[in-house]
Structures are given as C-alpha cells and as structure tokens.
Structure 1
C-alpha cells in the first residue's frame, strides 16, 4: 500500500464484482469519482481534511485502483454508470454532493442526470463530460491529443502502449501537470501501485479507447444525452479548474457554466494542471468548504 495513503478501504459486491471504496467521516455524503488512469488515491489530500466535518466516500470504478480487475468484464462507460447507480443504491446515499474529475465526470454526471432527486450539489473538476457541441473540433481536445488517441484504438498498438509500456501513467500523466515537481517519486509510486501488471491496466486501455473523437463514437451519445438532461438544472454547482491542463482547455468552463446556470464563481487555479488535487489540494478544500456552507 502507498506510504502516503493511510485509509482503511472497504469493499462492496456489485454485479458479482468487488469494488473498493473509502468511507471516512460522518454527515451528508460527498461522493468523489476519479478518472483515467487514476484511482481514489487522487483524493487522499482532500478527503483527509473534509472528513473532519463531512462523510467522504471515494469509489474505485471496476478495473481501477483496488477494485477487482477482470479482463472479461464490460468496461463501457454506460456500464460503469449502471454500476455506480447500484453502488449508490446499496449504500443508500441521499443529499449527495457529487465531486467528479476527468472520466469520473462522464460517468458521474450521466448518473446524476437520471437521479436528480438524490443530488444536492455538484463539484466539477477538469472534465469534458457535458459539452458535446465542441466534440471533434480543436476546442474539444488540442490537435496533438488526436495523435495519441487514434493509435491507441489500433489492435496490438494500444495493448503495447497502455498495458505494456504504461503510457498513460508514465508519459501522459506527467505532461498534464502544471508543475511536474508535484509528481514526485512517492506520488508516482502511489498512482502506479494498483497498476503493476499488464492485466492491471486493461481497464485503462478499454476506457481511453472510448474517449469520443467522432460523433459516431458510442460515448458521444452518452455525453449528448447527459448535456441535454442537465441543461438548465438549478442544482448548486461549483466548478474548480486547473488552467494548465493541456487536455481540458479552460473554455470548457464556460460551456459547463451555461449548462448548469446555478453555479458559484468558478475557482480557476492558474498554476495547476489536470491533476489539480495533487497540485493545489488546500485551495480545493477551502473552496469546497465554502461551497458546502453557502
């Protein structure tokens, strides 16, 4: 277990698989959802402070983190939405403050769009989950990213790059930091810990292959429907964004603000990149606390 991750994990069975999650503190729940290629470890510095006043739950999706990693499972994002719904139902969560990042935004907001009655607030961090109108344009993803995403869809190429060479963690992650000094050795080891073998990284590959590049891609429809269902929803929303993120350009903030009009002033972290919980956790904690108290 990573030396800087001192949380007793819990497990729950969902559709016959063991899912790992953290459950710290008491009170109304904050539910944290990670992206790819991370796991609930990314929230350790945030949860460690917020759990003093709130119940903080962080799930590892199937195939990620310390959850089970079967190579025969369905890792489609719609299926992850279904598993998330079952997880929340089994824990009987209500009045949820849903905190999402990266792919966790696609999964979490798709779930929220269908379960508005149990969602009290949204905290959205560096995700492209509900802005379909810019899909397939340079405003959606920078041009260089297509040079990475296309080859990963090719048979064997994707397997070698992601499962064999650990491309997403060893190459892509460092490039997405605003300041790579925050991705120091002990932190890298923490992220690598659950993904030490070829098969451990299977879900990473299956997930990155689903990032929509074309409007014919299946996840595009999920994002499109989510955006439509969320549009105009008056749920209190706090957007927190690392501005040095090469994969989630800052203009996406305006699209999210338009879809979710009852948003507070967005917290823009000028020096943070995609993995903002590593770079500026104190600022994130302060903003979430302020948001919860308004």
Structure 2
C-alpha cells in the first residue's frame, strides 16, 4: 500500500480519502463540486487511480469525479485472508457506492474495471446514468462470453502467459515481484507511449507492489482467470432493460494486445446498438496513458452531449 500523502513528484496531487465500508481501508479520490453529478472511474490490472490523473482535472470542473482503488491496488489496503476474485471486487464496489449514496453515476471503466463496473450496474441499475468503456469489456448477460474470452486468450500474450505461468507453478512468484517487473508487465499488456516513462511514473506504478504480501490483488486477478474462479454478475431482465437504454460510449485503442477489439467491442454494440464507438489507431491497452488528452476530450464531450 502506498503512503496516503504520496504524490509522485506532484503528478498525483489529489487529496487522499478512505472508506471502511467494503471491510478494508479503501482509498479514493473525490474531486469537483460536492453537488456535481458523479463520475466513477474504475481501473484494472495492474494499475490504480493514477491511471486517471489526466482525466480528473478535466471532468472535475463540472462533475464530482470519484476514483477508488480496488482492494489490493494503489493506496488501498491489501488484506490477508480475503479472496480477490471479480465477485469480491463487485461486492466492495457496491458497498462503497452505497456508503457514499451515489446516484446518476457515469461509469468510466478500463480493463477489469469493465466487468466490475457492469457488475455494479447489474446490482444497482437505477443508480447508473451513463456507461463509458475505454479498453474495458462490458459483459452484461452475454451468453457467449466464455467463447469470447477463450478466443481472445489465444491471441493475447498476457493471458497466454497467465495460463503457462500457472501451469508451471511460477505465476505467484513472478507477480509477487511486480514492483520490480512492473514495466515489463505493462508492456506485455500493450503500453505504447514510452515518452511518458519517468522515475516518478515507474515509482507510481511499482509502489503498490513493494513486496509479495502487497501483490495479492494483482495475483488474484491473474490467478482467477487461470482457475476460472471469477464470476461475472448476471443481470436480471429488468436490469438489462434499464441499462441498455442508458447513453453509452466505447473507446478502444486498436493496438491493444490484451483485449482485442474484435472480441470485445461487439459486446458493447449488442448491448448499446446506438452507442458511438471511437477506435484509436496506434493506441494500446492503456489508452489513458497512450493518448490521455484525446481520451479525456472524448469523455468530456460525450458527457456534455448526453
């Protein structure tokens, strides 16, 4: 867990806040007017709220921007004796949202923030106003999800590595040293913008994983895929009807080598057939790092229009 006041040479200047509602010390950023419509930004693997550091100042001029760190990531606690499967992260997120009593939420989701956010939407559809996925899957009652995941895993270096490392018994030991191999992990997933790499940047992404005990979140997400223990939330027919009528936007970096557009963008199109899709050439999996200004502008303008 990173020190609460750490700003990484001023690149993450937001006041730290904490909630105990999920049963552990969950860190979150809360910027913008208190009465502003909330934008809930959900990160994935192996990142944290730092991923959204360029988006927060853009949206917080008019909206209340809330950026939690999932259990085992960022400035949040990494408790022992807890499981780190998808359903656990959905549980934590729901408790967090209910504790803050958030409504009219605009979801901004990246990587496994997608299934976590859609899990929240399945449980609390009446609290969601808009859905924005940026290189993040939006599973929501898709019967063919296992086939999509399997087809994608055959193309993805990251998922192929997970399967091989788990079979070889080295997944936990390698990811247990994530603080030292963070850059190679990000590159394996499809990080393209080398110009952004600085000592502060490397420190920000490596610091949450300073020892094996702090890597349980990252290990859990990968191990859950290998074991098949992640459970996608199944929405009720009523939840599907509510959510499919919401304004939605999909943003996808086409150079993503972890989540291929051909397998995951159709999920968004099927759920939101009228939703715009912005495909970004030359942009990798971490679109918020590769082209932050473009992504922030797309999100800001979409929120204004809808």
TM-score (norm 1): 0.89
Q: Is the 8 A contact 1:122 1:238 kept in 2?
A: yes
Q: 1:170 Cα deviation (Å)? A: 3.0
Q: Is the 8 A contact 1:25 1:53 kept in 2?
A: yes
CA distance in 2, matches of 1:143, 1:86: 33
CA distance in 1, matches of 2:119, 2:65: 21
1:247 is matched with 258
1:256 is matched with 268
CA distance in 1, matches of 2:168, 2:20: 32
Gaps of 5+ in 1: none
Q: Is the 8 A contact 2:138 2:267 kept in 1?
A: no
The count of residues paired between Structure 1 and Structure 2 equals: 288
Q: 1:155 Cα deviation (Å)? A: 7.9
In structure 2, the CA distance between the partners of 1:140 and 1:160, relative to structure 1 (3 Å rule), is: closer
2:110 is matched with 101
- Pick aligned residue for 1:52 from 61, 65, 76: 61
Does residue 282 of structure 1 match 2:293? yes
CA distance in 1, matches of 2:293, 2:268: 24
Does residue 85 of structure 1 match 2:69? no
Q: Is the 8 A contact 1:245 1:273 kept in 2?
A: yes
In structure 2, the CA distance between the partners of 1:33 and 1:227, relative to structure 1 (3 Å rule), is: farther
Q: 1:185 Cα deviation (Å)? A: 3.4
Q: 1:245 Cα deviation (Å)? A: 0.7
CA distance in 1, matches of 2:129, 2:172: 40
What SS does the aligned partner of 2:53 have?
Answer: helix
1:48-80 per-position Cα deviation (integer Å, ceiling 9, x unaligned): 221111110000011111011112212121111
Q: 1:273 Cα deviation (Å)? A: 0.6
CA distance in 2, matches of 1:240, 1:170: 24
Equivalent residues in 2 for 1:180-259 (5 A)? 180-211=194-225, 217-219=228-230, 221-222=231-232, 225=234, 230=240, 233-251=244-262, 252-259=264-271
In structure 2, the CA distance between the partners of 1:140 and 1:202, relative to structure 1 (3 Å rule), is: closer
CA distance in 2, matches of 1:196, 1:69: 12
2:3 is matched with none
- Pick aligned residue for 1:37 from 42, 46, 71: 46
2:14 is matched with 7
What SS does the aligned partner of 1:235 have?
Answer: coil
1:81-134 per-position Cα deviation (integer Å, ceiling 9, x unaligned): 111111000101010001111111111111112211110000101123426053
Q: Is the 8 A contact 1:234 1:261 kept in 2?
A: no
